[in-house]
Chains A and B, each alone.
Chain A
Amino acid sequence: MSRVLVGVKRVIDYAVKIRVKPDHSGVVTDGVKHSMNPFCEIAVEEAVKLKEKKFIKEVVAVSCGPTQVTETIRTALAMGCDRGIHVEVSGKDYEAMGPLQISKIFAALAKKEEASLVILGKQAIDDDCNQTGQMTAALLDWPQGTFASEVTIDGEKVKVVREIDGGLETIKISMPAVLTADLRLNTPRYATLPNIMKAKKKKIATMKPADLGVDMVSRVEVLRVDEPPTRLAGVKVETVDDLVAKLKANGTI
């Protein structure tokens, strides 16, 4: 029962209005307010809680990206993680980075750090992929407890209550395992100023994907990003005859 790896992603803050770049290659990120992905906050909180309950000894926060992601790792450290790992990815590689590359990185780190659990947010609020946890488990050939709304350690096994379309499903899986956090798992604690100050003294190791034997080449190419089309005003009709006439006029019937 030793180590948990937690993934934290730096994303554009959910309250910010995003704007598509003039060249339609993506959205404007420069200077835009970013914060830790809300589901990653929940993942960190769960890992720190497990440590406080003495089920695990060490929580390692991991993020992939350019220098700015170290701020996100610091927040995780301020919430209670013991140390951080910054996997440096920048430029074109960072723009093309997706769940496949991340899960390869996490799988490599999980083996390197001999982690018993990898806890991730269920999805990121920018790409909404909901794939990284699942791919990581597959690459490691580990069991997975996704959409977790309750996690209980029971000896060498983990009981996970999962949020599914039909309600709640409870499963028991052996460790080592991958878990992904859903909304109701917990309420993340605040990163207080004294803890941010203490976090400055905690270690963040830096490495490159190549150091982990991971190739960042993407199989996906983004062709174009557009704003959703502006919703056109509807038309109100007074009678059924009017409705039929309009539907005939625009070729629907």
Chain B
Amino acid sequence: MERFADEADVVIVGGGPAGLSAAIRLKQLANEQEKELRVCLVEKASQIGAHTLSGACLEPSALNELFPDWKERGAPLNTPVTEDVFSLLTKKYRIPVPMLPGLPMNNHGNYIVRLGHFVRWLGEQAEELGVEIYPGYAAAEVLFHEDGSVKGIATNDVGIAKDGSPKDVFERGMELHAKVTLFGEGCHGHLAKQLYRQFNLRENCEPQTYAIGLKEVWLIDEKKWRPGRVEHSVGWPLNRNTYGGSFLYHLNEGEPLVALGVVVGLDYTNPYLSPFREFQRWKHHPFIAKTLEGGNRIAYGARALNEGGYQCLPKVTFPGGMLIGCSPGFMNVPKIKGTHTAMKSGMLAAEAIFPKVTAKDLASETAGLHVPEYEDNLKKSWIWKELYSVRNIRPSFHNYFGLYGGMVYTGVFYWILRGKEPWTLKHAGLDSAQLKPAKECTAIEYPKPDGKLSFDLLSSVALSGTNHEGDQPPHLTLKDDSIPVTNNLAIYDGPEQRFCPAGVYEYVPLETGEGMRLQINAQNCVHCKTCDIKDPSQNINWVVPEGSGGPAYNGM
């Protein structure tokens, strides 16, 4: 069956801060210069913002450049940061750490936002400018010209049954062709994986390292509500050799809402660690519990995030396309902010593409436009300077003293030298290679959820609103069906049962009684990408399910 094909000037995959900023900037330039430009954006979530999840404290630098009048336009930046608190937690106590100006986590001038709502607002601005936005459609395939340059993307075929056969409602996906295709899939995008291999984009950088962020939103007792207050912590419940920390932000949008969560570096070594249960038990710490007591949890979600920074930046342009946002990974890890750099990368991409894509007689070597100017502009921009200055902070945790060594390094070298030290530390390598065999590690005794502050996994997943059409092939594919039991379970005690924040992976006894098998509950998936990153066998390959499936986050 032939696929229907349509043509645009620019196609953008992903309706997050990077993709939308690129789309907006393109249309701003087109309208200023009175040029026609067809910009199409596809997004796998059912509505813009439904798959967006972040803390978040937004640094408005990129927004000020994109929309200097963002306040008049009603951008939902309603909570300026008023208090900034950093703690080192022990099991029972809290050691305050002074938030000196100049330290990367200092949030003066920033806003606590519900990123999903901010992204929704960006989507509205983009539509007003004439961007064609198509939520509910997933880009499943990269299309190539004969000369190997990128031609565009194709959405997935829908109406395929679990066993792979076509149902009555089977429909072929559609092809969207473009002169340039921007890939803004967010952290660890599935099409980006393909592009790295196809164009050898990672040959001169370190493999990306990641963390998983789990988040909840709570409606708390009004008496405990302090709008504008930002709290971060490190230490308990994670041990000094497991990178991670927590956040708790008080929003100021009418209701006493707090956004809180825990981030765990995916280079952890103990296969018995469960990021979800670390998050649940952290809430019982007296300093955290006192804010949450008497409150109600109203949302839950999780997403992987980049930790590699400068050392892990790949080549971002190739004939016919480019990578923007958290996909190549511009997150400033010690600041725990990536939205401002993602937006700026989208804007730089747009500014580099626009003159080329609207040029009357453009001589291009390849059928798909190659725009290396984007990468040159990135290197000259504040994104590069910023990432360069904090490049050694995350790798400084790889020492015997772990967290404490890292804090000393940050306090001494970053605060004094601002990253001007002449050396560049390396990361530890692939996250998936860091797990130690289960027999070398001790199982962690997690407390049972109490149903008031901490909760079980399945009721948490239900709050994410995630769902997928049941009768479709599972989108968590295994390269080799036997490896989960022979490798993951045998050597590492099935870590995917613990690192998946949605209960997708379960080892269940075989019906015949002897041995176990891996059961994949694909419908629960919240599209966090952690399994694709952390699987020690690198056997799990996350592909995109039918569009509209996945979480239904509201302002996460």
Contacts and interface: CB of A to CB of B under 8 A. Distances in A.
B47 A33 contact: yes
A32 to B, nearest CB: 5
B158 A190 contact: yes
B116 interface: yes
B554 interface: yes
Contacts of A30: 554
Nearest to B254: A22
Contact of A190 (B50, B134, B169, B552): B169
Contacts of A187: 167-169
B389 interface: no
B552 A33 contact: yes
Interface stretch (B264-272, B442-450, B459-467, B481-489): B459-467
Interface string B252-268: 00010000000000000
B255 A22 contact: yes
B155 interface: yes
Contacts of A14: 467
Q: Report the interface size class on chain B.
A: 20 to 34
Contact of A194 (B4, B120, B554, B555): B4
A19 B155 contact: no
Contacts of A189: 169, 171
B46 interface: yes
A26 interface: no
B117 interface: yes
A30 B219 CA distance: 16
A192 B554 contact: no
A193 interface: yes
Contacts of B6: 194, 197
Interface string B111-126: 0000011001000000
A192 B120 CA distance: 23
B395 interface: no
B214 to A, nearest CB: 17
B134 A193 contact: yes
B516 interface: no
B174 interface: yes
Contacts of A190: 158-159, 169, 171
Interface in A30-45: 30-33, 35
Interface string A1-19: 0000000000001111101
Nearest to A191: B136
B552 A192 contact: no
Interface string B39-69: 0001000110110000000000000000000
Contacts of B219: 22
Contact of B116 (A16, A19, A22, A31): A31
Given A187-B168, A192-B171, A31 B466 contact: no
Given A33-B552, A188-B169, A15 B174 contact: no
A192 B463 CA distance: 29
Contacts of A22: 219, 255
Given A33-B46, A35-B46, A193-B134, A15 B169 contact: no
Interface in B133-164: 134, 137, 155, 158-159
Contacts of B298: 19
A212 interface: no
A19 B46 CA distance: 20
Given A15-B466, A193-B137, A33 B554 contact: yes
Nearest to A19: B298
B158 A194 contact: no
Contacts of B167: 187
A192 B47 CA distance: 16
Nearest to B137: A193
Q: Which of B46, B50, B167, B171 has the most CB of A within 10 A?
A: B171
30 contacts: A13-B467, A13-B552, A14-B467, A15-B466, A15-B467, A15-B552, A17-B462, A22-B255, A31-B116, A31-B120, A31-B555, A33-B50, A33-B552, A187-B167, A187-B169, A189-B171, A190-B159, A190-B169, A190-B171, A192-B4, A192-B174, A193-B42, A193-B134, A193-B137, A193-B173, A193-B174, A194-B174, A197-B6, A197-B132, A197-B134
List 3 A-B pairs, minimum CB-CB distance, nearest first: A15-B467, A33-B552, A31-B554
Given A16-B465, A17-B463, A194-B4, 4 more contacts: A19-B298, A22-B255, A33-B47, A187-B167
Interface of B: 4, 6, 42, 46-47, 49-50, 116-117, 120, 132, 134, 137, 155, 158-159, 167-169, 171, 173-174, 219, 255, 298, 462-463, 465-467, 552, 554-555
